[in-house]
Structure 1
Amino acid sequence: MLDELRQFLDYRMTVAEWIGAALLAVAPYLLIGVVYTVLDTGHLAHTDGVQRVLAFVGGVAFWPVLLIAKLC
């Protein structure tokens, strides 16, 4: 059992594998964030230009906080 764990922890990954794993881990979060921000545009209502872009990116990045704040 210990040898199997040691073999698992000794596995080496290339940079491309790390990038791929990171993309697979982040993709669902970003997808949910985009969907939430597109469906709930309340925080985008009074913004223009660069502010709107930053508000959209902030909505995608902080959608869990916005969701909890809306529920409370």
Structure 2
Amino acid sequence: MKTEDLLREIESLPVEERARVADTVLKSLNPPESEVDKKWAEVAKRRLGEIKSGAVKPIPGEDVFSEVWKRFS
């Protein structure tokens, strides 16, 4: 099967199946590293706990990007 044929067939799939194909292809290009993933999961859980407990106040994304644009414009 030619690549163009394959792409046309993928485009004809329902969105959920296209997402599954895209996820599979991306994972094949950049396989997950279990140790790195575990460490990121630990950081994410810790940070979520800090937010839920009130120890850390989250900053809205709009504010963060606005500040970035100010600094680099």
TM-score normalised according to structure 1 size: 0.32
RCO higher in structure (CA 8 A, sep ≥6):
1
